[in-house]
Chains A and B, each alone.
Chain A
Amino acid sequence: MADKGSFEVKVGLAEMLKGGVIMDVMNADQAKIAEDAGAVAVMALERIPALIREEGGIARASDPQMIKDIQKVVSIPVMAKVRIGHFAEAQILEALEVDFVDESEVLTPADEHNHIWKHDFKVPFVCGCRNLGEALRRIGEGAAMIRTKGEAGSGNIVEAVRHMRQVQSDMKKLTVMDQDELMAAAKDMGAPFALVQQVAKLGKLPVPNFAAGGVATPADASLMMQLGAETVFVGSGIFMSDDPAPRAKAIVDAVTYYKDPAKLVEISTGLQSAMKGLDMSEIPEGERLQERGW
Chain B
Amino acid sequence: MIGVLALQGDYEKHIQILDQLGMVSTEVRYPEQLDSIAGLIIPGGESTTMTDLMERVGFHKPIREFSEKNPILGTCAGLIMMARSVEDSRVSSLGIIDVDVDRNAYGRQVHSFTDSLPVSLDEQSKSTKATFIRAPKISRVGPTVEVISSYDGEPVAVKQGHHLGLAFHPELDDVTIFHEFTFKKQFETIHAA
Residues of A within 8 A of B (CB): 1-6, 8-10, 12-13, 15-20, 35, 37-41, 75-77, 94, 97-100, 122-124, 249, 252-253, 255-257, 260
Kindly provide the distance from the CB of A205 to the nearest chain B CB, expressed in whole angstroms: 13
B109 to A75, Cβ gap below 8 A? no
Interface centre among A1, A6, A38 (most CB of B within 10 A): A38
Known A16-B9, A19-B7; contact A253-B110, beta-carbon cutoff 8 A: no
Interface centre among A5, A16, A77 (most CB of B within 10 A): A16
A-B contact count (CB 8 A): 117
Residue of A nearest to B56 (CB): A253
B93 within 8 A of A: no
A16 to B104, Cβ gap below 8 A? no
**Alpha-carbon distance between A253 and B29 when the two chains are bound, in angstroms:** 11
Residue of B nearest to A3 (CB): B114
Kindly provide the distance from the CB of B140 to the nearest chain A CB, expressed in whole angstroms: 20
Residue of A nearest to B108 (CB): A97
A8 to B29, Cβ gap below 8 A? no
A–B complex contacts, Cβ < 8 Å, 29 sampled: A2-B114, A3-B113, A3-B114, A4-B110, A9-B133, A12-B172, A15-B44, A16-B44, A16-B46, A16-B134, A18-B9, A18-B10, A18-B11, A19-B9, A19-B45, A35-B90, A38-B52, A38-B53, A39-B49, A40-B45, A75-B88, A75-B90, A100-B109, A123-B110, A253-B53, A255-B8, A256-B7, A256-B8, A256-B53
Known A3-B115, A122-B110, A256-B29; contact A8-B172, beta-carbon cutoff 8 A: yes
Residue of A nearest to B111 (CB): A4
Kindly provide the distance from the CB of B128 to the nearest chain A CB, expressed in whole angstroms: 15
Chain B residues near A3: list those with CB within 8 A.
113-115
Interface mask (B63-94 → A, CB under 8 Å = 1, otherwise 0): 00000000000001100000000001010000
B154 within 8 A of A: no
B107 to A97, Cβ gap below 8 A? yes
Kindly provide the distance from the CB of A81 to the nearest chain B CB, expressed in whole angstroms: 16
**Alpha-carbon distance between A94 and B88 when the two chains are bound, in angstroms:** 26
Chain B residues near A17: list those with CB within 8 A.
45-46
B131 to A8, Cβ gap below 8 A? yes
A19 to B11, Cβ gap below 8 A? yes
B163 within 8 A of A: no
Chain B residues near A253: list those with CB within 8 A.
53, 56
Kindly provide the distance from the CB of A84 to the nearest chain B CB, expressed in whole angstroms: 22
B8 to A40, Cβ gap below 8 A? yes
Known A8-B172, A256-B53; contact A123-B6, beta-carbon cutoff 8 A: no
Name B's interface SS.
loop
A16 to B10, Cβ gap below 8 A? yes
**Alpha-carbon distance between A1 and B152 when the two chains are bound, in angstroms:** 11
**Alpha-carbon distance between A219 and B78 when the two chains are bound, in angstroms:** 29
**Alpha-carbon distance between A100 and B110 when the two chains are bound, in angstroms:** 9
A38 to B48, Cβ gap below 8 A? yes
Known A2-B115, A19-B6, A19-B45; contact A12-B53, beta-carbon cutoff 8 A: no
B112 within 8 A of A: yes
Chain A residues near B53: list those with CB within 8 A.
38, 252-253, 256
**Alpha-carbon distance between A281 and B90 when the two chains are bound, in angstroms:** 44
**Alpha-carbon distance between A16 and B10 when the two chains are bound, in angstroms:** 5
Q: Which listed residue, A18, A122, A123, touches B8 by the CB 8 Å rule?
A: A18
Kindly provide the distance from the CB of B152 to the nearest chain A CB, expressed in whole angstroms: 9
**Alpha-carbon distance between A253 and B111 when the two chains are bound, in angstroms:** 30
A13 to B29, Cβ gap below 8 A? no
**Alpha-carbon distance between A100 and B108 when the two chains are bound, in angstroms:** 10
Interface centre among B13, B44, B53 (most CB of A within 10 A): B53
Kindly provide the distance from the CB of A93 to the nearest chain B CB, expressed in whole angstroms: 10
Which 10 A-B residue pairs are closest in the complex by CB-CB distance? Answer: A38-B52, A99-B109, A2-B113, A15-B10, A19-B8, A97-B108, A12-B133, A4-B113, A20-B8, A2-B115
Residue of B nearest to A11 (CB): B172
Q: Which listed residue, A13, A18, A75, touches B133 by the CB 8 Å rule?
A: A13
B103 within 8 A of A: yes
Q: Which listed residue, B49, B108, B115, B173, touches A1 by the CB 8 Å rule?
A: B115
**Alpha-carbon distance between A224 and B7 when the two chains are bound, in angstroms:** 17
